[in-house]
Amino acid sequence: MTVTGAEVTPDLRHAKVYVSVLGSDTEKQATFDGLDSVASHLRSRVARELRLRVAPEIQFKEDDTIARAARIESLLADVKKQDAAASRGRDED
């Protein structure tokens, strides 16, 4: 799990925390269920650590940027392999 970003409203009442989770859909769901279950605890910790009168309500949102980047890298590697194989085939002719 990687926290990729956060947005807080100007009045500090709401925060969206963007999280990237690699794994199966079941693993992703379990991660977000766990994050949702500790959100109120994190809210109180944030308020205490930052000495805020009102701490933001935390919502966790999925950020699939890392997964999409990994998929693109995989596709590019496949294209490179296919190109190399095609080049070897032309060289043998």
pLDDT at res. 86: 83
Residues 31 and 75 in one domain: no
Q: Which domain holds residue 85?
A: 65-93
pLDDT at res. 6: 96
pLDDT at res. 93: 60
Parts of the chain with a pLDDT under 50: none
pLDDT at res. 92: 67
Distances (CA, A) of 51 to 10, 43, 44, 46, 75: 17, 12, 10, 8, 48
Residues 58 and 73 in one domain: no
Residue 83: CA atoms inside 13 Å, Cβ hemisphere, count? 6
Residues 1 and 41 in one domain: yes
pLDDT at res. 68: 87
